[in-house]
Structure 1
Amino acid sequence: MKIYHLSHTDLDGYGAQFVTKFYFSDIKFYNSNYGKEIDVKFDQILNEMDDEKSIVLITDLNLTLTQCAKFEEALKDKNSKIMLLDHHQTGLECAKKYPWYLLDNERCATKITYDFFSSIYGKDEKLDKFVRVVNSVDIWLKDEPEFELGKVCLGLVSMAKEINNIMFGDTSRDYIFYLLDKTQKYFNEKDGHIALDEALHIFKKSYFIKEKNDTLNNLISTFVVDMLSQNKEKFMIQYRDKTGILTYNIGNTSIIGNEFLVRNPDIDFFLDMTSRKTMSFRANNSADVSLIAKELVGGGGHVNASGGFYPAFKDGHTYEIIKKQIVDLIEKKTKAEEASKEQMAQE
């Protein structure tokens, strides 16, 4: 039986997935914040489900009554079941109505998940310690011996932004799992939280190093360019006769954009859209991005480096939602100019 596991985006959310990863192999992970994003990710799960009998496991996220009814009904058609393990008191009304909604506000979601599956498949000493670390900080048990370790792990997850989770969700999650696995080495050491805090930089570098050592920023840039190059068909966009690549909140646009274009001469320009509605364009003498920026959003700059602001842009929870907005913008602007030229020619 396949498991589709949707969880929150903090330490407790990833911690619950870290637990299920220990017990199961045939599992697909998804992560979401609260609210409407849960609906988006649930619809994504439905679209990716096959005919195999499955379980949708939701952890560290509370649903509304409307979501509960919608999700339960949708899974009937898929011959699948739903189970929710959570600790947020706001889900009490749902927990009273739906038997698959397990609520316990005295344990974090990671511990609820571990206690549930370990009661069936057996406990593990190392994993048990990890769960106590997460539980101590998530429900703020300051007197527990694992509390300071939990604080370091909490910061580790919140600061693990090196890999964009919208563009590379699976890789971003694997990176966080890798870091969480590395933390366990320090759980039984004296002043382990201090040693762990000092080791985080090394952990991060060890994930990105391939052939030779370098600064963390350089290693990350090379890693991201590799992923963009391997998956560029997914990220391609077309502007007139120019082929571009669209990224989202990629960061270090100058370095990553230029390195990508050098390594991929078949791509004419690089465009990074951000959640702040800004657009950063880069080229390597194959396109005049100042003209592209000007036509699309009234922006401008240099031939190989320009920018603009797209006020109508709406932040999305999946890359497909973001890409559609940019593709629609390009089509609208280019078709409008072509229609204007045709009208002038007729006059």
Structure 2
Amino acid sequence: MNITQITHHDLDGYGASTVVGQFAEVARIVHVPRYSDVGPVVETELKRLGKASAPEMIVMTDLGLEAVAVTFLRNFAALNRRREPEARHRLVVLDHHASSVDQLREQGLAPLADPATPSLQRFDLEDPNLVVLIDEACCATRMAYEHRALYATRESGEDPILGALVTAVDAVDLWRKDRPAFRSGLSLDEMFWDNVSNLVPIGHPWHDRFVGDLLLGAARLLGDGASPAVIEGQVPALRKAILDGYLAEDAEDDRTLTTRMRIARVLARSDLFHPLSDGTLMSFGLDSGTFQRVSDLIMESGRAKRVLNVQRAGTMSFRSNNETALDGARRFRGGGHKDAAGGKLTSGSAFSLADAIAQVEPVLNPPAADPALTPFGALKNWKG
């Protein structure tokens, strides 16, 4: 069964995806930074599932359920009712936000208490393939670990490394300063934010694998009793060891370079950049330092003469080697140098690469006007 996970873009969200990945083969992970973006994401998934002939599974973790997300749950159940029993999809929602309970109640869904776990609330949408659990007493990473039977496709016993990861994330995500693991959780959180977007970006096949391996490597150190200072000092070595493994068979790898330099060379020859109609290569959500290095390598290789990066907040960075960066930026109320300039999306933000492409393409490369629609063309073609 094809499995997609939709999860929050923070330590708990990535902790949950790391845990799920240990018990199931996840084909795709969608990270959502803002709860307001959950609606467009799940609407896209619902349309895709409606066209899918084979049953699939969606695992949603650490996402606050706003009104549009609750509507998605109802629509998911309605979609399943229209499908043959053997073709029905499965949806597992593991959340711990009090606001989610409020939204579900407002839409007429009452929680069912779990006698074994008083803090756990279940919501019944009259579909056995749809499981919604909300537990305010633990983080999503812990929920993914404790409720793995809901999605697991392979057996696995108790794992002390995963246990250390779950304990640390749970303490810091719930902000339980009274727990011994709180300091460990803080060290994981610092490591996460220092590495989640500036090395292997979202969109590259290595992204979740890299962050997950880094979290598991740090959890292994925690299990051995390492202090936050020791973990901080070991992060560069962990990153290098992970990358050495990924590039073990890569003849073009140069281990005399820094980790960022080595990764930049991999990114420059990847499919991370989408070609626009004028040949500009566009990426989404790249760290500015990574974009600078990768765009230079791309242009140096001859793949493109202009490269563009769009951030979720709508800011845009153009780079070129033919003095066209400024021309592109000016179409988006921007400015700068001829080969290095920036602008801003008209809408102010983008929630995905596809969304960014839809906003950029018609402005950067507007369709040619139909001569017949111009005043002169209309007069020329008039037969009155």
Q: TM-score, normalised by structure 1?
A: 0.81
Output the CA distance in 2 between the equivalents of 1:17 and 1:152.
19
Q: 1:36 to 1:195 in 2, by over 3 A?
A: same
- Give the CA deviation at 1:203: 2.1
Equivalent position SS for 1:107:
coil
> Which amino acid in 2 is paired with 1:211?
D
The 8 Å contact of residues 186 and 193 in structure 1, kept in 2 or not, is answered as no
Structure-to-structure mapping, 1:132-211, within 5 angstroms: 132-159=167-194, 160-163=196-199, 165-168=201-204, 170-208=205-243, 210-211=253-254
The 8 Å contact of residues 7 and 60 in structure 2, kept in 1 or not, is answered as yes
Equivalent position SS for 1:179:
helix
The 8 Å contact of residues 72 and 82 in structure 1, kept in 2 or not, is answered as no
- Give the CA deviation at 1:10: 1.4
The 8 Å contact of residues 31 and 41 in structure 1, kept in 2 or not, is answered as no
Counterpart of 2:77 in structure 1 is 72
Counterpart of 1:218 in structure 2 is 261
Matched, 1:87 2:96: yes
Greater mean alpha carbon deviation, residues 34-43 or residues 159-168: 159-168
Counterpart of 2:54 in structure 1 is 52
Output the CA distance in 1 between the equivalents of 2:96 and 2:332.
45
Equivalent position SS for 1:335:
coil
Counterpart of 1:96 in structure 2 is 110
Q: 1:66 to 1:277 in 2, by over 3 A?
A: closer
The 8 Å contact of residues 312 and 352 in structure 2, kept in 1 or not, is answered as no
Counterpart of 1:5 in structure 2 is 5
Matched, 1:283 2:320: yes
Greater mean alpha carbon deviation, residues 105-114 or residues 68-77: 68-77
Output the CA distance in 2 between the equivalents of 1:101 and 1:11.
22
What is the root-mean-square deviation of aligned Cα atoms in Å?
A: 3.3
- Give the CA deviation at 1:260: 0.8
The 8 Å contact of residues 58 and 92 in structure 2, kept in 1 or not, is answered as yes
Higher helix share: 1
Task: Choose which of 282, 296, 304 in structure 2 pairs with 1:246.
Answer: 282
Matched, 1:256 2:270: no
Output the CA distance in 2 between the equivalents of 1:339 and 1:278.
36
- 1:36-59 residue CA offsets vs partner (Å, 9 max, x unmatched): 311222234345543222332211
> Which amino acid in 2 is paired with 1:90?
S
Structure-to-structure mapping, 1:306-321, within 5 angstroms: 306-310=340-344, 312-321=346-355
Output the CA distance in 1 between the equivalents of 2:8 and 2:213.
18
Q: TM-score, normalised by structure 2?
A: 0.74
Equivalent position SS for 1:106:
coil
Greater mean alpha carbon deviation, residues 179-188 or residues 66-75: 66-75
Equivalent position SS for 1:134:
helix
Q: 1:202 to 1:339 in 2, by over 3 A?
A: farther
The 8 Å contact of residues 15 and 110 in structure 1, kept in 2 or not, is answered as yes
> Which amino acid in 1 is paired with 2:262?
L
Structure 2 unaligned regions, length at least 5: 112-122, 125-130, 245-252, 380-384
Output the CA distance in 2 between the equivalents of 1:219 and 1:37.
33
Output the CA distance in 2 between the equivalents of 1:336 and 1:299.
24
Output the CA distance in 1 between the equivalents of 2:255 and 2:182.
36
Q: 1:143 to 1:125 in 2, by over 3 A?
A: same
Equivalent position SS for 2:257:
coil
- Give the CA deviation at 1:183: 1.0
Structure-to-structure mapping, 1:265-284, within 5 angstroms: 265-275=302-312, 277-284=314-321
The 8 Å contact of residues 277 and 365 in structure 2, kept in 1 or not, is answered as no
What percent identity do the matched residue pairs reach? 19
Equivalent position SS for 2:158:
coil
Q: 1:244 to 1:343 in 2, by over 3 A?
A: farther
Structure-to-structure mapping, 1:291-330, within 5 angstroms: 291-294=327-330, 296-297=331-332, 302-303=337-338, 305-310=339-344, 312-330=346-364
- Give the CA deviation at 1:150: 1.1
- Give the CA deviation at 1:153: 1.0
Output the CA distance in 1 between the equivalents of 2:372 and 2:233.
61
- Give the CA deviation at 1:11: 1.5
- Give the CA deviation at 1:198: 1.0
Output the CA distance in 2 between the equivalents of 1:101 and 1:291.
50
- 1:309-343 residue CA offsets vs partner (Å, 9 max, x unmatched): 235143211101101111110233x6369999996
